[in-house]
Structure 1
């Protein structure tokens, strides 16, 4: 394993200019939690400065397809479509492990083969899995905050809830299917469910790219190790859509020690997801996650 690279180990000419990096993340609690250690100044660098914006996940997916941000949170299911232009970062990842998005409907509704369903975006992981399990459903795409109301109003017969929406919903709604169960049926190995990660523009200089990954990794690590304090700061600033109890529950699910850096098991799960998408004709070529990550050994070898 290559050793960690910090700015103080770099030659002085690399520290003379600060690079401004745009970072986009979703406004849901796990992304805010993982990013805000940087925003609060707990992690700093002489090499880069981050400027952030928050957008819903499909907006971020579409923006990444257009190459708008230096770094962006994305749905893992999008990544094979942008792998030539963006590296896959090892940090800031969200996986389900026994849980995940939920397909919900009204208690009184019986779903037909071609039922109408609201999903949170064409390139989300939940959309990929849903399409594999329900190929005849009629899909409409909504902001994830509008999915529950679309089902309640009768605009659609069902919807897939994501983010904090999975924690509570109207009592007239029931779960038709857990996407975790669909994922387990598809992968056959009880692997964690890949949901979201971060991608970095390949046109950035490699030294800058590696510094960004190092800083973001440290930010997630610091956030996880200081969860009560950071959670309270986010809540006090009205940055979170749920109360403190639901926030704790949600962060335990999606922003935890498993979010700091990709594990071998998570990499295996990503490769399965990418294979499923390629086999279904959704991606132009087969890929594996490891081949599209930043070479962390670069600075160690260059300056050793």
Structure 2
């Protein structure tokens, strides 16, 4: 049994559930056993080596590089959009404002810290951030996942994380938010098969978006309505989620570079060095 961790947000469920519904993966020697947890819990679980395969923030990957390979499928990027720093309309933020973030290892938290080094950070489950701002527990918070689509009318956007990203990157690159990592101890031929199956699952999901979306809504596993789900999937689970392209890889490398220069990472990584060497399969079959 291959253990897989993914988040309960709509894009992860959408990209994985072609396997749950049996549309993909029948040819695998070992079946998948999935667990849905919030993204920071998954980041920590991957650091601890709990799951064979896991969704992970791209910002967390350098911390697990020795034990996990980076997959090239099941990815979510921002492209002109992304997490939002929100506050009450009546609140004016000071330099050392209190802010709720979704986890120390998340990409949005890393980018936020680059722009607001004096902010006082509280880390919370992403589902608790909006209410923490409304209650006054914190002055602001960064909303992620479906929360960016519909939040309380007493709140407004202070700044888009996308804008901070472009400012720090000094160019408009896709904003690397979520990816997947696979345990290195898994034999290479099996690892290649797992990545191939996950890639097929995302491809099938994207091609059958309306059918799969309806099934997810009918089963009550999605937190948003049909209209919001359609919008959200267009943002984060689309044709660009099937397999990393060169521009996305450049975005990942820019994130790693910014993190290294800020002292967050101890080495400067290039993502291409950490993918599963799929060329092995072609050599093996030649």
TM range (shorter): over 0.9
Paired position in structure 2 for 1:39: 20
Query: C-alpha separation between the residues in 2 aligned to 1:96 and 1:85?
Result: 27
Structure 2's unaligned 5+ residue stretches are: none
Paired position in structure 1 for 2:270: 288
Query: C-alpha separation between the residues in 2 aligned to 1:64 and 1:123?
Result: 11
- Choose from 144, 148, 173 the match for 1:166: 148
Paired position in structure 2 for 1:67: 49
- Find the residue that maps to 2:31 and give its secondary structure: strand
- Choose from 272, 277, 281 the match for 1:299: 281
Superimposed CA distance per residue, residues 47-78 of structure 1 (whole angstroms, 9 cap, x where no aligned partner): 23101010000000000000000000000000
* TM-score, length of structure 1 as denominator length: 0.93
Residue 28 of structure 1 contacts residue 164 of structure 1 at CA under 8 Å; is this kept in 2?
yes
- Choose from 113, 116, 136 the match for 1:154: 136
- Choose from 135, 138, 157 the match for 2:117: 135
Paired position in structure 2 for 1:84: 66
1:109 counterpart = 2:56:
no
Residue 100 of structure 1 contacts residue 162 of structure 1 at CA under 8 Å; is this kept in 2?
yes
* TM-score, length of structure 2 as denominator length: 0.99
Superimposed CA distance per residue, residues 197-249 of structure 1 (whole angstroms, 9 cap, x where no aligned partner): 00000000001100000000000000000000000000000000000000000
Root mean square deviation, CA, Å: 0.5
1:24 counterpart = 2:5:
yes
Paired position in structure 1 for 2:166: 184
Paired position in structure 2 for 1:11: none
Query: C-alpha separation between the residues in 1 aligned to 2:281 and 2:13?
Result: 30
1:208 counterpart = 2:180:
no
Paired position in structure 2 for 1:57: 39
- Choose from 205, 226, 230 the match for 1:244: 226
1:197 counterpart = 2:179:
yes
Deviation at residue 188 of structure 1 after TM alignment: 1.4
- Find the residue that maps to 1:87 and give its secondary structure: strand
Query: C-alpha separation between the residues in 1 aligned to 2:172 and 2:137?
Result: 35
- Choose from 121, 137, 142 the match for 2:103: 121
Query: C-alpha separation between the residues in 1 aligned to 2:13 and 2:32?
Result: 14
Structure 1's unaligned 5+ residue stretches are: 1-19
Query: C-alpha separation between the residues in 2 aligned to 1:303 and 1:150?
Result: 55
Tell which structure's C-alpha radius of gyration is larger. 1
Superimposed CA distance per residue, residues 111-162 of structure 1 (whole angstroms, 9 cap, x where no aligned partner): 0000000000000000000000000000000000000000000000000000
Aligned length: 285
